[in-house]
Amino acid sequence: MTSVDQTGTRHPPRGNAQGGTAAHSWAADVGPGVVAMAADNDPAGIVTYSLAGAQFGYDMLWSCVLSYPSIVALQLVSARIAVVTGNGLTTNMRKHYSRIWFLLAVGRFVIANTFNIAADVVAMGVGAHLLWKGSIAGFATFFLIISIALQWFVPYAKYARVLKWLALSLFAYVGVDVALQLPWTRLTANLFVPHISWSEHYLEMLLAVLGTTISPYLLYSQAEQQVETQRPEDAHSNDEKDRERRLSRLRSIRSDTLIRTALSNAVAASIIIAAAATLHANGRAPDSAASLASVLGPVAGPFDTHLLGLALISSALLALPPLSGSAAHAVASTIGWPIDPQHNRRIAFALIAIVSLGGAFGVVLAAMQLDPIRVLYWSAVVNGTTATPVMVLLVLLSTRHSAVGDLSAHWTLRALSWLATVGMGAAVVARYACSLLG
């Protein structure tokens, strides 16, 4: 069966050498293309941004604006490495770094992804509970099975065409911002001027916001998407014509990345503003999914829980493939599996194994009746805590002549990437320093 990725490229059937059911390569149909906004603002992001606005008002808005250049730079660096080398990030890291550093970065990344998968499965259970009531664990199990079936049997682009319409519910937060009378002078200042409180709670929340804004799995999926859409001969050609073709492709990637990252960050900022203008302004504690849904009350009225439920389910279903797929490719590169059509079945099985493991963990968390809001929040904290090693290796890799030749990333991209890396690392250190000193 021929599949179509977000770039419109058609891919030949996949499967083993003897034929049979096609094993869908995640990277052919996944990536930060059509549905990047919803995949990046997954349930962990929705909850984290809501909590940031509810607990700290507009104080963290600056993180959505000031992080934008660095997020774009990191994704462009990731794409450049893939286009120039013809390999994904994990394959390049394995080739150019010592095994201990490679395993440290990849191991932390896979663990964070697995926990994020678990949190998103819990979120689907919560979203279904908001819509229809019933058992959160039962709904989580049902939607986990649905997600696995979709990832195995249906090309991502096909069902994303449906889910992206449900994910438009995220724009309801923009509607809330428009409907309310906001203190625009103060709000504008908070958009561009950092406000940092040296407290453990604030720094932990900042780490969670940065962790769900600068998502390492999107960097991996960005690279693998470019590898899948690149013609095999391009990866080994060094003539002038091929160089121009690569540069042209990188310019196209830059335009796309600038637009969709702006959209993703704008929605994130809208969620913070909406929560600040409703929950924080009225002194209400966000202690349940229903209380977070009340943020949408100004535009949804009594259907606020239904709207949040749709947002949680659709964004989770859109985020699970790049989460599990990027982890599967990381595992495949670590083991040294060849990544080509003949071996895609093994990678597909690794993908299913990872999403099943993470999903089962999520079902267990739901069955234990742990606070789902805390589960989603902590998945963002874990993401922020584990991102720094990946970011360091990524930026260093973009300057290695042995990897990218004379097409190394421009110094501005490297500077912005280092800014995000140092900022993320500083947030981790400051959070734990406050914990020890407090």
pLDDT in tens, 329-341: 888 877 777 666 5
Q: What is the pLDDT of residue 401?
A: 66
Contacts 24+ apart (CB under 8 A), 301-307: 305/130, 305/131, 306/130, 306/131, 307/169, 307/172
What is the rounded distance in angstroms from the CA atom of residue 222 to the CA atom of residue 224? 6
Tens digit of each residue's pLDDT (9 = 90 or more) over 78-102: 888 888 887 778 888 888 888 888 8
What is the rounded distance in angstroms from the CA atom of residue 52 to the CA atom of residue 357? 30
- State the pLDDT confidence band at 367, using cuts at 50, 70 and 90: very high
Tens digit of each residue's pLDDT (9 = 90 or more) over 380-411: 999 888 888 888 888 888 777 666 665 566 78
* Tally of domains in the chain: 1
Q: Which domain holds residue 381?
A: 24-229+240-437
What is the H or E stretch that residue 169 is in?
none
What is the rounded distance in angstroms from the CA atom of residue 266 to the CA atom of residue 327? 27
- Please determine, for residue 306, whether its predicted confidence score (pLDDT) is greater than 50: yes
Closest-CA residue to 15 (of 27, 5, 23): 23
Q: Read off the tokens for 301.
A: 């009225």
Q: Please indicate whether residue 65 or residue 106 has the higher confidence score (pLDDT).
A: 65
Per the CB < 8 A criterion, the answer to whether 358 and 70 are in contact is no
Tens digit of each residue's pLDDT (9 = 90 or more) over 271-281: 999 999 999 99
Residue 207 lies in a domain: yes
Q: What is the pLDDT of residue 348?
A: 83
- Please determine, for residue 309, whether its predicted confidence score (pLDDT) is greater than 60: yes
Residue 4 lies in a domain: no
Tens digit of each residue's pLDDT (9 = 90 or more) over 205-249: 999 999 888 877 777 777 777 776 665 445 445 556 666 677 777
Residue 70 lies in a domain: yes
CA triplet 100, 102, 108: central angle to 5 degrees? 100
Per the CB < 8 A criterion, the answer to whether 96 and 397 are in contact is yes
Q: Please indicate whether residue 407 or residue 180 has the higher confidence score (pLDDT).
A: 180
Any idea what the CATH number is for the domain that residue 400 is in? 1.20.1740.10
Residue 8 lies in a domain: no
**133: left (phi > 0), else alpha (psi -120 to 50), else beta?**
left
Tens digit of each residue's pLDDT (9 = 90 or more) over 8-21: 333 333 333 333 33
- Please determine, for residue 361, whether its predicted confidence score (pLDDT) is greater than 90: yes
Q: Please indicate whether residue 141 or residue 346 has the higher confidence score (pLDDT).
A: 141
Residue 178 lies in a domain: yes
What is the rounded distance in angstroms from the CA atom of residue 408 to the CA atom of residue 404? 6
Residue 3 lies in a domain: no
What is the rounded distance in angstroms from the CA atom of residue 263 to the CA atom of residue 258? 9
What is the pTM (predicted TM-score) of this model? 0.86
Q: Which residues contact 368 (CB under 8 A, 6 or more apart)?
A: none
Contacts 24+ apart (CB under 8 A), 409-417: 409/76, 409/77, 409/80, 412/73, 413/73, 413/76, 413/77, 413/80, 414/73, 414/77, 416/69, 416/70, 416/72, 416/73, 416/74, 417/70, 417/73, 417/74, 417/77, 417/391
- State the pLDDT confidence band at 437, using cuts at 50, 70 and 90: confident
Q: What is the pLDDT of residue 59?
A: 93
**What percentage of the chain reaches a pLDDT higher than 90?**
38
Residue 9 lies in a domain: no
Residue 17: DSSP 8-state: T
Closest-CA residue to 358 (of 167, 5, 118): 118
